């Protein structure tokens, strides 16, 4: 966040995402900009 003219502004930067071969992305996964996920990885989210 940055304040310009007394107002807060959200600053986001686009960066590539790299996902390797044979990767399993489970439901509700969020992958942020600039992340590299290697081959044969499992990425899970919302674990109870």
Percent of the chain with pLDDT over 70: 94
**Which two tokens mark 35?**
């992340």
Structural domain includes residue 24: yes
How many structural domains compose the chain? 1
CA-closest candidate to residue 43, choices 28, 30, 26: 26
Domain hosting 40: range is 15-48
**Which two tokens mark 23?**
């990767």
Structural domain includes residue 22: yes
Structural domain includes residue 9: no
For residue 47, is it left (φ>0), alpha (ψ between -120 and 50) or beta?
beta
Structural domain includes residue 43: yes
Structural domain includes residue 47: yes
Helix (H, G, I), strand (E, B) or coil at 25: strand
Whether 46 has a pLDDT exceeding 90, the answer reads no
Write down the pTM of the prediction.
Answer: 0.64
Structural domain includes residue 7: no
Structural domain includes residue 26: yes
């Amino acid at each position: 966040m940055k304040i310009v003219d007394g107002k807060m502004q959200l600053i986001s930067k686009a960066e590539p995402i790299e996902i390797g071969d044979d990767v399993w992305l489970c439901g509700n996964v969020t992958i942020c900009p600039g992340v590299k996920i290697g081959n044969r990885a499992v990425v899970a989210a919302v674990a109870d």
